[in-house]
Amino acid sequence: MQYVTRESAFHRLHPLTKLIFAAVVVALAVLTSDTVMLTVLAGVVVAIAIVSGLARDLLRQVPLLLSLAASLLALTVLTIRSGEIVCYLVPQSVPVIGGALPVTAGAIDLALAMSLRFAAMLFAFQLLVISTQPRDLVHVMDRLRMPVDYTLMFLIALRFIPSLQLEGKRIHEAQLARAYNPGNGLAGKIRGLFPIIIPLVSNSLGKATILGLTIDLRGYRSGRRTPMRDLSPGRADVAGICCMGLLVAGYLAVLVV
């Protein structure tokens, strides 16, 4: 997840509007475990992405979501027994253990609800991150009187996650290119971790030290910050907030009734 430079309707919105959007989606997703409602919620987020031409970026998360859904399904099928029995993992024709491990409707329902909830939250956050410049996000969080130190930590983390993954992969490939072979089996797997983690951690700490110096050099501790540009909400933001208000009202109405 990283900022993507592009001209889209979502990019042009005020950062605060997008922040509220992500918060609203997370709140609504947590409020219910009804699959229909969650499908609608995830659908709305995806629809917004399609309208803004950012759908392709969301698609990249689909493999992650599918694997998450599969593991959730495995977990709920093995642990939850409620509702009608749909089928059996071990067919009833098998002698002795036939009919073991029933798959219940309740388990499938719960796994589906949890997967949809994660999908909605993940997509909402991704839309926020890929369409908002980090400096605008910091500025808006500063305006909201969030402690600026923590905002910065959050942004550094967000910026570092993708580069860490890339670097880990590179280091691994570099070790392979040097014909490093930690051996097979469990011991080999564990031994193989060290030549990746040690360079990864020391490289990122080196980078963090430089980053810390840079932050200091730019006068962070003087306590005065001036934004590069002061964004003001436009007509689209008002419309966006109104739509969100309607969505929340409708959602809560359906939830209560």
Residue identified by tokens 């995806």 is 46
What is the per-residue binding string for another protein in 61-80, x denoting contact by CB under 8 A? Answer: ---x--xx--x---------
**Contacts with another protein: how many residues (CB under 8 A)?**
52
User: Between residue 21 and residue 40, which ones bind another protein under the rule CB under 8 A?
Assistant: 22, 26, 29-30
In the Cβ-directed half-sphere of 162, how many Cα atoms lie within 13 Å?
9
2 contacts another protein (rule: CB under 8 A): no
* Site stretch for another protein (CB under 8 A), options 83-91, 162-170, 173-181, 246-254: 162-170
Which position among 85, 146, 213, 254 is part of the footprint of another protein (CB under 8 A)?
A: 213
Partner residues linked to 85 by β-bridges: 104
* β-strands 102-104, 85-88 pairing: antiparallel
3 contacts another protein (rule: CB under 8 A): no
Q: Which is nearer to another protein, 36 or 208 (CB)?
A: 208
Cα separations in angstroms, 112 against 29, 33, 66, 142, 241: 13, 9, 11, 38, 29
Minimum CB distance to another protein, residue 112 (Å)? 15
Tokens representing residue 198 in the block: 């040690």
Q: Do 35 and 109 meet the contact criterion of CB atoms below 8 Å apart?
A: yes
Q: Which is nearer to another protein, 44 or 122 (CB)?
A: 122
Q: Which is nearer to another protein, 13 or 29 (CB)?
A: 29
Minimum CB distance to another protein, residue 39 (Å)? 18
Which position among 40, 55, 80, 164 is part of the footprint of another protein (CB under 8 A)?
A: 164
236 contacts another protein (rule: CB under 8 A): no
Question: What are the helix (H) ranges across the chain?
Answer: 9-12, 15-31, 35-51, 55-59, 62-79, 105-131, 134-143, 148-177, 185-191, 194-217, 235-256
Tokens representing residue 76 in the block: 């709920």
Instruction: Give residues with Cβ within 8 angstroms of 247, minimum separation 6.
Output: 24, 28, 44
Q: Do 47 and 123 meet the contact criterion of CB atoms below 8 Å apart?
A: no
Residue identified by tokens 């493999």 is 63
Minimum CB distance to another protein, residue 243 (Å)? 20
252 contacts another protein (rule: CB under 8 A): no
Which stretch of DSSP H or E encloses residue 114? helix 105-131
How far apart CA 108 and CA 198 sit, in angstroms, is 42
Which position among 85, 86, 190, 246 is part of the footprint of another protein (CB under 8 A)?
A: 190
150 contacts another protein (rule: CB under 8 A): yes
Minimum CB distance to another protein, residue 6 (Å)? 22
Binding site residues, another protein, CB under 8 A: 22, 26, 29-30, 64, 67-68, 71, 114, 117-118, 121-122, 124-125, 149-150, 152-161, 164-165, 168, 186, 189-190, 193-194, 197-198, 200-202, 204-205, 207-209, 211-213, 215-216, 220-221
